[in-house]
Amino acid sequence: MFKIALRPLAITAALLAGTVAAYAANPLVGGAEMPETKNIVENAVNSKDHTTLVAAVKAAGLVETLSGAGPFTVFAPTNEAFAKLPAGTVDNLLKPENKDQLTKVLTCHVVGKAVMSDALVKMIADDGGEHDVPTVGGCVLKAKAADGKVTLTDENGGVSTVTIADVKQSNGVIHVVDAVILPKM
């Protein structure tokens, strides 16, 4: 009788372990869980590494858009990525009179479909090592893959590296990047 009572407990533990593993599949970003049931904005506001990005999205009036149905791929620069810009750049972009310029910068981080990293790496390989990635902001990024990393080169020659890939969202996917993508201006 003792063995019979332990068997359902072992099955329950195994099921719970599988459930925990499923929830753990989406990476932590900025120390926060990123539930697939939440949209890009709902998750981004919880990342301590993306407070500058969230402030910029709010200042540009893009909260409603990035909370919409999508699907979107967002290459999400960290606070450190924004800090690499020349002194005063972020403060200047956040001014109301620079909303159009800020919107252009931000939308050059967004693709109008959900693209997981394995699909992007396949497109890069299929295109001979470099794949053009058109953004909703009208920028064309050059994606490359080498040494297990995906890089994006912007129209100015700036390179950002995907540091956390495939953060699934209810309306797309986020790939964390270590540099701000800048449009040709």
Q: What is the 3-state secondary structure (H, E, C) of 43-62?
A: HHCCCCCCHHHHHHHHHCCC
The number of domains in the chain is 1
CA distances from 84 to 91, 120, 170 (A): 13, 26, 30
Q: Does a structural domain hold residue 37?
A: yes
Q: Does a structural domain hold residue 20?
A: yes
Contacts of 121 (CB under 8 A, 6+ apart): 145, 150
Q: Regarding predicted confidence, which is higher, 37 or 14?
A: 37
Q: Does a structural domain hold residue 71?
A: yes
Phi/psi at 30 (5° precision): 60, 35
Opening angle at CA 174, ends 176 and 80, nearest 5: 25
Region of residue 182 (left: phi > 0; alpha: psi -120 to 50; beta: else): beta
Element (H, E) at 35: none
Residue 130: give the domain boundaries. Answer: 2-177
Q: Does a structural domain hold residue 134?
A: yes
Opening angle at CA 44, ends 42 and 48, nearest 5: 130
Which tens digit of pLDDT belongs to each residue from 32-89? Answer: 777 788 888 888 888 888 889 989 999 998 888 888 888 999 999 999 999 999 999 8
pLDDT at 13: 36
How far apart are alpha carbons 81 and 89 in whole angstroms? 12
Q: Where are the alpha helices (DSSP H) in the chain?
A: 2-24, 40-44, 51-59, 63-67, 79-83, 89-93, 99-107, 117-126
Q: Residue 3: is its pLDDT beyond 80?
A: no
Q: What is the CATH number of the domain that holds 167?
A: 2.30.180.10
Q: Does a structural domain hold residue 182?
A: no
Q: Does a structural domain hold residue 184?
A: no
Contact criterion met (CB below 8 Å) for 166 and 116: yes
Which tens digit of pLDDT belongs to each residue from 75-131? Answer: 999 999 999 999 998 999 999 999 999 999 999 999 999 999 999 999 999 999 999
Q: Does a structural domain hold residue 64?
A: yes
DSSP-derived pairing of the beta strands 72-77 and 140-146: unpaired
Q: Residue 17: is its pLDDT beyond 50?
A: no
